[in-house]
Structure 1
């Protein structure tokens, strides 16, 4: 039983990486079909709120002790929603479209490095330069950064696939593909930073408001309001808010229920149990899943230079396992 408790967080995180991979692939497919990235974020959070709110409400009613949301909890949740959901997803979808889903998951390998550095500065992560665990984490950080830089800057000969169609991207104002590629990588890097900060913010958030179901519902609701306000500014015409196909609707619904609702609950539970760095260290697995399936189903461009990331995958699982 004790062994099962030890492996339960690991199993959950592995399953979540496959889930995130499916979300990335279906999301980019919707963007390539012409869906507005900001509309996608808004509907994703709105649907997630509609699903999570009733579940959280009836779950809290069955408990003898309920969590009350005070002003401190409210502003912590608002900040976490703004950084880790609204901004992170808006920027991520821009980068996902401009680069690719496989590159998006690869650059997200920076999350353990960014999280480790930030958590060390804040004091959530103890750094002992004489410890093998600390040395492994530092070396893993260097590997993550080097790999992400290689993916962004070193492409090499093209092995596979496609062409970039038009879309509703706010940043697509150049016909020069190399510039678009680099811009997409920068967006994905910014999204990685936001996600890392979200993982760290979860520590005070879960302490202030430990009800994971209600916390997930509140985050989805606040992200809906935030993304809706941004969408009104950038796309004031309601015609731009339309979902034009069943596939787009299905991908939004899947991202909402599984990618936002369920994943936020599980991420909050994992962070409370094992810490933010543990949660971040499983991201390299997502790259393997997305790269394989995106090249098959989306015909994404695969470059020789990007395969440097495979070294990062193998090294990260060896290096970061010292953290367990």
Structure 2
């Protein structure tokens, strides 16, 4: 019987601090890729082309990592059934579409706005999960009201960022290009669409990780499928399909390599691993960090103009995010107390021989554990 999970002795640094260090690294990779993207856009690269190259390089890097870790026989690790492939395909499509929306929004609006709106994902994830039945909403519970209120505040903050710029808080240098108001609004709409795609990716990670528990192989498959999906999307989105794949400048290559190896390959692996160990809720807690890093970097290096509306909207999104996360964390505590109570009742029952019950994995529960039977409690 899995006890309190408190962790006596074993595990070491990687188990205790690895997920935290991994998620901090993920946020730095995301912040820095925005700088690389802005540089690539300045050289004329199309967003869908950037994503296709990025995912292709990520897939190649992850495949090499798999070969180095496991030798030449990858069949036991990379083989997937029809259900797992369908889930991987859907998750990859959500990822590829979300990246396209994100890069379009980044191009039309600003890096700080783009990164801030990623914090919408947990609130929207809760809303979608509630609609499809993965989340229970009890209007008599303060936890449910916290998640509802946090989602509303997040969306209000995103709308404020998209439609209300307000006066400048910090001005960029004289040569800094400011986005036109109509482009700013379009960019905001794209970025809100990104949050919906990321939310779908989070939700799909739960069944994906249940049926396919190897983070490295999972990340390899998702990058490979996203590459193919982007190539197909480019055929419909771009008129001169053959010409768009040519690099206009040698400086585009390092931008693509960084985005592919670190912002896609390493991040896919780190996020999948952290979600499998700690659950999606844990990974979502770190998302505001990339917004702070991106705002600082874009103000210093890209001379981005900061507006009151952007600051207020970003602040509202982050407050709403943590309200949602608080509600979800309280849900987890309540579920654990209920489960412990059920366990103790079943242990005290004199006729309980060989009784088995499924604990169920919530959106915030770890998907991997030390014991393979942690999701099935017996007495």
Q: Report the TM-score, using the length of structure 2 for normalisation.
A: 0.74
CA contact (8 A) 1:107 1:188 kept: yes
Spell out, residue by residue over 1:251-284, the C-alpha distance to the aligned partner (whole angstroms, 9 max, x if none). Answer: 1111111111111112112222333333233222
Using the alignment, how far apart are the partners of 1:48 and 1:224 within structure 2? 9
1:7 Cα deviation from its structure 2 partner:
5.0
Structure having the higher helix fraction is: 1
Q: 1:116 aligns with which of 101, 117, 126?
A: 126
Distance 2:190 2:265 in 1: 24
Aligned position for 1:163: 177
Q: Hey, what does 2:234 align to over in structure 1? A: 231
Distance (Å, rounded) in 1 between the aligned partners of 2:16 and 2:153: 27
Structure 1: tracts of 5 or more residues without a match: 166-176
Q: Give secondary structure in 1 for the equivalent of 2:247.
A: coil
1:36-75 correspondence runs (5 A)? 36-61=46-71, 66=77, 68-75=79-86
Structure 2 Cα separation of the partners of residues 291 and 222 of structure 1: 32
Please point out which of 174, 179, 184 is paired with 1:181: 184
- CA distance in 2 between counterparts of 1:138 and 1:10 reads 27
Deviations 1:83-122 (A, max 9, x none): 12x2111121111101111110112121111112122333
Rg larger for:
2
Is the 1:119–1:125 Cα contact (8 Å) retained in structure 2? Answer: yes
More RCO (CA 8 Å, sep 6+): 1
Tell which deviates more after alignment, 110-119 or 50-59.
50-59
Give the Cα separation in 1 of the matches to 2:322 and 2:85.
39
Secondary structure, in 3 states, of the residue corresponding to 1:53?
helix
Q: What RMSD, in angstroms, separates the aligned Cα atoms of the two structures?
A: 2.7
Q: Cα distance, 1:182 vs. partner?
A: 0.7
Task: Report the number of matched residues.
Answer: 312
CA separation of 1:30 and 1:108: change in aligned 2, threshold 3 A: same
Question: Contact 1:82–1:223 (CA<8 Å) still a contact in 2?
Answer: yes
For residues 322 and 117 of structure 2, the distance between their equivalents in structure 1, rounded to whole angstroms, comes to 19
What TM-score does the superposition give when structure 1 sets the normalisation length? 0.86
Uncovered stretches (5+) of structure 2, i.e. residues with no partner: 1-5, 330-379
Q: What is the CA deviation profile of residues 199-232 of structure 1, one whole-angstrom value per residue up to 9, with x for unaligned ones?
A: 1101111112111111111111111111112223
